[in-house]
Amino acid sequence: MGEVILTMKGIDKSFPGVHALDHVDLEIRKGEVLALMGENGAGKSTLMKVLTGIYKKDSGTITYEGKEIEFANPRDAQAAGVVIVHQELNMMNHLTVAQNIFIGREIMNGKLINDDKMNKEAAKLFDRLNIKIDPTEKMGNLTVGRQQMCEIAKAISHDAKVIIFDEPSAALTESEIEELFKIIRDLRDKGMGIVYISHRMDEIKVITDRVTVMRDGSYVGTLITKESTKDDIINMMVGRVIYEDPKTESNVPKNAPVVLKVENLNAGKMVKNVSFELHKGEILGFSGLMGAGRTETARALFGADPKESGKIYINGQEVDIKNPMDAVKHGIGYLSEDRKRYGIVVGKSVAENSTMATMDEFTNGPFINKKKENDIAQKYVESLKTKTPSVDQLVVNLSGGNQQKVVIAKWLVRNCDILIFDEPTRGIDVGAKSEIYHLMNELVAAGKSIIMISSEMTEILRMSDRIMVMCEGRVTGEIGIEEATQERIMHAATLRK
Amino acid sequence: MADKKKGNAFTNNPLVKAVGTQKIVVLLVIIVLFAFFSIMSSGFRKYPTIVSIFDYSYYISFMAIGVTFCLITGGVDLSIGTGMICYALFGGYLITRQGMPVIVGILGTLLLGLLMGCINGVLVAVLELPPFIATLGTMMVARGFGSIITGGMSVTWPAASSEQGWFRMLFKINKPGLLLPVGFIWVVIFVILMSLFLNKTRPGRYIIAIGSNKEATRLSGVNVVKYQALAYIISGVFAGIAGIAYAAVFSSSIAPGTGAGLELDAIAGAIIGGTSMTGGCGSIFGTLLGVFVMSMLKSGLPYIGLQANWQQIITGLILILAVFIDVIKNRKLA
């Protein structure tokens, strides 16, 4: 057990109308990885922002290396050795790797920047991390995983003693996550104090030594990772029990009709000869590593991206889907992985979003029939149990889970029978997650059919009746839920054909 | 790993890589345009015409060098066209109406440009107004202010033949038997200096960084307000330099209320030269090449019988085409 390097005690922070942090304590030790967990809105990010000087605390003390301190801004914190690797990568894509690493503290040669020296120093940093990245490459040309390695290199170049990882694995592939963990262990063994913020329970078990849990802006408690179970941690996070049991058998009757059949779909580099069938009342999981071509398949099927060849049959009839309008006409709804960009209009109300795909049915001549719109929106707010004060509430004010419900309502209003859920619970907290799962099960029970793309193994195993596994644009496995195991899926997901 | 390494024999050629594909293409366009006008018109092939291409290039170049910095931050400065005329009116007013020495007029022109740059900088960087709207506003302000200074009258800077006409020699030596476009030397000097500034100094690096990702730059501890404002200040000062070049090269009087639309020549030049409207990348050398496309057209079109109205249509179309190419480039990157 390492010695304590940084302590936050009784940290309090309020924003107008919100008590964001309520006397929170945190202790970071040398040579240890501390998980910081909590649902969305629990105050993890706010706490880290207070630590690194982005926000000023209202009260409480921060002790770092035995002295009480308060960083004025992230730069001060960096200079002292406290560095955040952000969730959203903070990269200047147009600059080179080395220019990014040394931004704000360029190595100078008189009045001019010494790029050669910066490239050499950056190469040394990568050597220390045992990774190969060309410091002169433009940042925008790297994969997300590589960009993150650059962020870590940047942190190390600050002689960091405390490194905070804010959901680092969210956009990484499995192999990149392994590379990341190797680096984190290495840094830990060198005596750094590491804070690891993540929603992924499996990772917490693998990489962290202690877990500090927050809930609603308060400190709940700290556990030793080895000595606690998943349920212990989740209970502390939500205060209610969540079951993550995998599904054991398909709920789809043997003779259920095929509602959607895709034959030899080809679209670009990421969709190669994809064929599958979807049955009525089925949840068909699409599993695979990042970049396997699952979203691309869904987009091509939905007509959002052009397809090169392939046939699509709905209820046995061949259909021609050239654009999303055609897809919607044939009863396909698509819930994008990027809700804010493609799913909802955040500045509009719940009611307006609910009828967005069905506008024609809610008009009197050129005018929108507000009453009819509100009634239907209200109906779905009730049936989906969307938490909103009224249907006039702007969607931007709802939580992620409730925003997702509004998107579902939109497609239900449109009377879609085939729903494509692309990462349905990304960015949604644990409690709301199980509500979305419950809802999906109700939808298939009511005769809808669902294609669910998910990068979370537990989600795939918990929800799917059948699993299609993709790798590099091809279907590499089809597994019934009865035979599905994590190992089988991972095997197929890494099967390069 | 999907580290994108694409290209063909042409784009992978080390020389092409060092200079940039777009610049080589633009250089070819300039050569083709020159050949086209030379074939179409015997008048175009003459030395004075070539000098007139240079004449047009100076003020567009200076405006374009300045506005390139704004474009790189992801913004734009629309005030440079009417601004340039306004500053030149102010300088000319000091010389001809107030009887001040030419050097005071030149300094006055630059100072007014600097002031306007500061105002734009405050509006965009400090008050966070959208650059398009903020500089559209100051564009109108500059236009009106120029008229007010001179009481609505035109201003003529001292003629080359007069005692005070020495400043014209800075840009154009025009004596019997000797016609030299010396202003190009200034353009080259400023292109080299500002290229160095953009690519090799901290402020330049931060201006690119802001255009690429402002929030990330801020979180890196860079004073983004200061450097974003600096881009507009540079643009203002260069509009002042453009005003001096304009006054020095053209012997006709400068009329208040003009200058609107000239900023588009400069912006089109910068975008043709490879500077992106979305920020993050740009090159001063590329801007210079782009400007030569614009000034080649300005001086060449009259020789094939296309007068002012047609020139405006063509400038507009070229601007749209240049931005379209920029949009396609960005689409490929995304």
The neighbouring-strand residues paired with A28 are A6
pTM of structure: 0.74
Q: What's residue B17's pLDDT? A: 67
Q: What residues in B contact A138, CB-CB < 8 Å?
A: none
Q: What residues in B contact A112, CB-CB < 8 Å?
A: 196, 200-201
Query: Residue A207: how many CB atoms within 10 A of its CB?
Result: 22
Q: What residues in A contact B277, CB-CB < 8 Å?
A: none
When CB atoms are compared, the residue of A113, A141, A291 closest to B200 is: A113
How far does A109 lie from chain B, in Å, by closest CA?
A: 10
Q: What residues in B contact A143, CB-CB < 8 Å?
A: 1-3
pLDDT (tens digit, 9 = 90+) per residue, B218-243? 878 789 999 999 999 999 999 999 99
Burial A186-199 (b: 16+ CB within 10 A, else e): ebbeeebbbbbbbb
Q: What residues in A contact B333, CB-CB < 8 Å?
A: 140
Contact assessment for residue A421 and residue A377, using Cβ atoms and an 8 Å cutoff? no
Minimum mean pLDDT among A468-472, B77-81, B96-100, B216-220: which range? B216-220
Q: What's residue A17's pLDDT? A: 66
A141 touches chain B (CB under 8 A): yes
When CB atoms are compared, the residue of B211, B220, B280 closest to A104 is: B220
Centroid of chain to Cα A7: 29
- Any idea what DSSP says for residue B73? T
Residue A155, amino acid:
A
Which of B199, B200, B223 to probe by mutation at the A interface, max A CB count within 10 Å?
Answer: B200
Altogether, the residues listed in chain B come to a count of: 334
Asked if B280 lies within 8 A of A93 by C-beta distance, the reply is yes
Q: What residues in B contact A86, CB-CB < 8 Å?
A: 219
Q: What residues in A contact B281, CB-CB < 8 Å?
A: 94
Contact assessment for residue B268 and residue B319, using Cβ atoms and an 8 Å cutoff? yes
Asked if A95 lies within 8 A of B216 by C-beta distance, the reply is no
CA distance A85 to A167: 9
Asked if A112 lies within 8 A of B1 by C-beta distance, the reply is no
Asked if A106 lies within 8 A of B209 by C-beta distance, the reply is no
Asked if A92 lies within 8 A of B222 by C-beta distance, the reply is no
CA nearest to B258, candidates B116, B147, B159, B151: B147
Residue that is written with structure tokens 């801007």 in the block: B287
CA distance A321 to A260: 13
How far does B194 lie from chain A, in Å, by closest CA?
A: 13
Binned at pLDDT 50, 70 and 90, residue B6 comes out as very low
When CB atoms are compared, the residue of B4, B200, B215 closest to A112 is: B200
Per-residue pLDDT of chain A (497 residues; tens, 9 = 90+): 578 999 999 999 988 767 889 999 999 999 999 999 876 667 888 899 999 988 999 999 999 999 999 998 888 898 899 998 876 667 898 999 999 999 988 999 999 999 999 999 999 999 988 888 999 999 988 877 788 889 888 888 888 899 999 878 766 777 788 888 999 999 999 899 999 988 677 788 889 999 999 987 889 999 999 998 877 887 787 665 444 667 888 888 888 999 999 999 999 878 999 999 999 999 999 998 767 889 999 999 999 889 999 999 999 999 999 999 899 999 999 988 777 777 788 788 899 888 888 888 888 888 888 888 899 999 989 888 888 888 888 888 887 788 888 988 888 888 889 999 998 888 777 777 888 898 899 999 999 999 999 987 788 989 999 999 998 889 999 999 999 887 788 778 777 65
How far does A66 lie from chain B, in Å, by closest CA?
A: 25
Which of A52, A95, A157, A158 to probe by mutation at the B interface, max B CB count within 10 Å?
Answer: A95
pLDDT (tens digit, 9 = 90+) per residue, B31-72? 999 999 999 988 888 888 888 889 889 999 999 999 999 999
CA distance A393 to A383: 17
Asked if B205 lies within 8 A of A95 by C-beta distance, the reply is yes
B220 touches chain A (CB under 8 A): yes
CA distance A61 to A131: 38
Sign of CA dihedral B6, B8, B10, B14: positive
Asked if A103 lies within 8 A of B333 by C-beta distance, the reply is no
Which of A83, A84, A88, A92 to probe by mutation at the B interface, max B CB count within 10 Å?
Answer: A92
pLDDT (tens digit, 9 = 90+) per residue, B286-327? 999 999 999 888 888 888 888 878 888 888 898 898 888 888
Asked if A111 lies within 8 A of B211 by C-beta distance, the reply is no
Minimum mean pLDDT among A472-476, B20-24, B137-141: which range? B20-24
Q: What does the H/E/C string look like for chain A?
A: CCCEEEEEEEEEEEECCEEEEEEEEEEEECCEEEEEECCCCCCHHHHHHHHCCCCCCCEEEEEECCEECCCCCHHHHHHHCEEEECCCCCCCCCCEHHHHHCCCCCCEECCEECHHHHHHHHHHHHHHHCCCCCCCCEHHHCCHHHHHHHHHHHHHHCCCCEEEEECCCCCCCHHHHHHHHHHHHHHHHCCCEEEEECCCHHHHHHHCCEEEEEECCEEEEEEEHHHCCHHHHHHHHHCCCCCCCCCCCCCCCCCCCEEEEEEEEEECCCEEEEEEEEECCCEEEEEECCCCCHHHHHHHHHCCCCCCEEEEEECCEEECCCCHHHHHHCCEEEECCCHHHHHCCCCCEHHHHHCHHHHHHHEECCEECHHHHHHHHHHHHHHCCCCCCCCCCEHHHCCHHHHHHHHHHHHHHCCCCEEEEECCCCCCCHHHHHHHHHHHHHHHHCCCEEEEECCCHHHHHHHCCEEEEEECCEEEEEEECCCCCHHHHHHHHCCCC
Angle at B222 between CA B217 and CA B223, to 5 degrees: 115
Q: What's residue A497's pLDDT? A: 58
When CB atoms are compared, the residue of B2, B213, B221 closest to A92 is: B213
Which one is predicted more confidently, B116 or A292?
B116
CB pairs under 8 A between A and B: 69
CA nearest to B68, candidates B181, B158, B198, B229: B198
Chain B residues 222-241 with CB within 8 Å of chain A: 222
Asked if A113 lies within 8 A of B208 by C-beta distance, the reply is no
How far does B20 lie from chain A, in Å, by closest CA?
A: 15
Asked if B221 lies within 8 A of A86 by C-beta distance, the reply is no
A305 touches chain B (CB under 8 A): no
Q: What's residue A243's pLDDT? A: 47
A121 touches chain B (CB under 8 A): no
Largest CA distance in chain B: 69
Which one is predicted more confidently, A166 or B111?
B111
Q: What percent of chain B has pLDDT over 70?
A: 93
B1 touches chain A (CB under 8 A): yes
Which of B3, B198, B332 to probe by mutation at the A interface, max A CB count within 10 Å?
Answer: B3
Q: What residues in B contact A105, CB-CB < 8 Å?
A: 221
- Any idea what DSSP says for residue B170? G
Residue that is written with structure tokens 């050795």 in the block: A81
Q: What's residue B297's pLDDT? A: 87
Strand order in the sheet with A466-471: A332-335, A418-422, A449-453, A283-288, A466-471, A474-480
Asked if A103 lies within 8 A of B4 by C-beta distance, the reply is no
Binned at pLDDT 50, 70 and 90, residue B144 comes out as very high
Chain B residues 159-198 with CB within 8 Å of chain A: 196
The contacts of residue A472 (CB under 8 Å, 6+ apart) are A272, A291, A292, A293, A496, A497
